Structure 1
Amino acid sequence: MTESVLDVLMYLFETAGEDGLPPEPNRDGLREELERAGFHHREIERALEWLDGLAGHRGGDVASPPTDRAVRIYAHSERARMDAEGRGYMMYLEQIGILSPHQRELVIDRLMALDSEEIDVDDIKWVVLMVLFSQPGEESAYARMEDLVFDDRAWVVH
């Protein structure tokens, strides 16, 4: 089975249930479940590290959070992995009110923590869902994003 960290995360996300993963899940139990599902040890460990990174950002402790009027300039390393369509999609999510500037930064951080060389719009959609799901009080934004994930026609480049 060829899988990526995102495949492991999507599996966890889809099987987590309504309450999601607890803040301190039973790591040994998760590892065993993921191994039974056919995932390799390396991807399991990287997915758990990714979740640790997400949990570390839950407090919203950004030294200087971006303002609503800030313009995001992507670093060379970010542009190398996320093409113009992906960056445009991120801007679209901000413009329609699904992501705040702070959440955008968290999504970009989690995207860069994936093991894939190229990040496409589908990857962005799933990471946005996971980030919104992990944040209390974002049920409305999560529901709107879920509609976008399952309705590919909602995102059309003009």
Structure 2
Amino acid sequence: MFEVLVYVYENYWRGDACPELPQLERKLNAIGFDADEIRDALLWLDGLNLAAQSTLWLDAAPTTRPDTTLPSFPATDSMRVYSVAEQNHLGAECLGFITFLESAGVLPPPMREVILDRAMAVSGEPMALDDLKIIILMVYWSFGEEPDTLVLDELYDDSAERIAH
């Protein structure tokens, strides 16, 4: 599935430039991707589209709910507590990377929640960091945003090839 997602990311520069899923499926079949991989990727992309649209809709909503004075989104100094299922599925390495992006100020809470939603939609425990990085790129892509250059470097970098100084 991740090979298909990488192909989509590299060939459609923004989420809104991507063709509708049936047309994309035909293109991916013509290229020669495995039918099961295409099906899994398209289901995942459909979930990504729904999550991104929901988040964009919430961003346009008022800052307070009508029945209360509580804010719609967490305050900037709030803390995200991960469920046991999220901890088991993502593992320490992936959770640490998400925390790194948040502390660097490049991952806002609504985008983080979409990343977590899409990561939890992928089977296998614990998730590989490289797979999480692809998910993060796809979430930025679906929001029509390009990550900061240093973030892109972290997302594309293969840490196994780094040389310690």
Q: Output aligned runs, 1:25-40, within 5 Å.
A: 25-40=19-34
Q: TM-score, normalised by structure 1?
A: 0.78
Aligned with 1:43 (options 37, 42, 48): 37
> What do you get for the CA RMSD once the two structures are aligned?
2.4
Q: TM-score, normalised by structure 2?
A: 0.75
Whose helix fraction is larger, Structure 1's or Structure 2's? Answer: 2
Letter in 1 for 2:41: A
Aligned with 1:15 (options 3, 11, 14): 11
1:67 partner SS: coil
Q: Distance in 2 between matches of 1:101 and 1:21?
A: 20
Equivalence for 1:101: 109
Letter in 1 for 2:137: L
Percent identity over the alignment is: 34
Structure 1 pair 6/66, CA: closer, same or farther in 2 (3 Å)?
farther
2:52 partner SS: coil
Q: Which 4+ stretches in 1 moved above 4 angstroms?
A: none
Which structure 1 segments of 5+ residues have no match? none
Shift of 1:91: 0.4
Aligned with 2:95 (options 50, 67, 87): 87
Shift of 1:83: 1.1
Deviation digits for residues 14-62 of structure 1 (CA, Å, limit 9, x no counterpart): 222x3x3437723333212222333222221221121111111223245
Q: Which has the higher contact order (CA 8 A, sep 6+)?
A: 2
Aligned with 2:79 (options 71, 96, 114): 71
Letter in 1 for 2:102: E
Aligned with 1:130 (options 116, 130, 138): 138
Larger CA deviation: 79-88 vs 37-46: 37-46
2:51 equivalent to 1:57? yes
Q: Distance in 2 between matches of 1:53 and 1:23?
A: 17
The size of the alignment, in residue pairs, is: 146
1:68 partner SS: coil
Structure 1 pair 11/51, CA: closer, same or farther in 2 (3 Å)?
same
